Amino acid sequence: DAKTTQPNSMESNEEEPVHLPCNHSTISGTDYIHWYRQLPSQGPEYVIHGLTSNVNNRMASLAIAEDRKSSTLILHRATLRDAAVYYCILRDRRDSSYKLIFGSGTRLLVRP
Amino acid sequence: ETGVTQTPRHLVMGMTNKKSLKCEQHLGHNAMYWYKQSAKKPLELMFVYNFKEQTENNSVPSRFSPECPNSSHLFLHLHTLQPEDSALYLCASSQGSGAGDTDTQYFGPGTRLTVL
């Protein structure tokens, strides 16, 4: 499985944008990039995913580098509720097991 | 109830006890998963079920025994556990086969297990 590298932690001020980076230099052409987050005392929740093009949804935006070796999750206006551990995960579109392999993620702290 | 539910939310058991964790999904999904989250460690996938059939066992010790009687329910039977098995056990479900190239997982709140 291709690996991802994320910073252990990041801090942000409330109502400011947050850019969470993820490096995946060994990504293959069939790997999708998924982001999940885990709020305190909860199970992980889906945030966004993409393959090649940038993606937007109501929670966040995903910017994917042209060579796909890195990506950035963008929270446009951080709130206190966005404090969580954010996981960047690669999953091969050919994988019929549908499993997710979680790394250590980035712990995001949001200052009021 | 909506989403993925897990019971109990907290469980304390001795090493000689037998207990079971229950997971139920109300999303019409076909795939279900058990994960283990120990303190300061990443989530570890334990088991995967697709259409009630186990498709993945990630080298989990036999003291953990999963059961999937139907696509909506998943159990994790526990016996003769060790203190190092204390962790948060998370259940998830997804559409599975037929979801296309991507398949979003929906997680329950987890069961916090303490083994004394």
Tens of pLDDT, residue by residue over A60-111, are 999 999 999 999 999 999 999 999 999 999 988 777 667 788 999 999 999 9
Contacts of A34 in chain B (CB under 8 A): 102
Determine the average pLDDT of the residues in A47-55: 93
In this prediction, residue B80 carries a pLDDT of: 94
Run of H or E including B77: strand B73-79
Count of pairs with CB atoms under 8 A, one residue in A, one in B:
59
The residue among A59, A101, A98 whose CA lies nearest residue A82 is A59
Q: Distance, in angstroms, between A89 CA and closest chain B CA?
A: 12
Does B1 score more than 70 pLDDT? no
Contacts with A41 from chain B: Cβ below 8 Å: 109
* Confidence class for position B40, pLDDT limits 50, 70, 90: confident
- What percent of chain A has a predicted confidence (pLDDT) above 90? 82
Percentage of residues of chain B with pLDDT beyond 70: 95
Cβ within 8 Å, pair B104-A103: no
**Over chain A, what is the mean pLDDT?**
93
Interface of A with B (CB under 8 A): 32, 34, 36, 41-46, 49, 51, 91, 93, 96-105
What does DSSP say about strands B18-25 and B73-79: parallel, antiparallel, or unpaired?
A: antiparallel
Nearest CA-CA distance, residue B32 and chain A, Å: 10
- CA atoms of B73 and A66, how far apart (whole Å): 42
Q: Is the pLDDT assigned to residue B96 strictly greater than 70?
A: yes
Find all residues with CB under 8 Å of B71, minimum gap 6, and list them. B29, B30, B32, B51, B52
Residue B98 has pLDDT above 90, yes or no: no
User: In chain B, what residues touch A91 (CB-CB under 8 Å)?
Assistant: 102
Q: What is the pLDDT of residue B101?
A: 63
B64 confidence band (pLDDT: 50, 70, 90) = very high
Residue among A20, A6, A30 nearest A82 (CA):
A20
Residue A44 has its nearest CB partner, among B45, B101, B107, at: B107
Position B99 pLDDT exceeds 90: no
Mean pLDDT, rounded, of chain B: 92
Tell if the CB–CB gap between A46 and B104 is shorter than 8 Å: yes
Q: Which two tokens stand for residue A92?
A: 């091969």
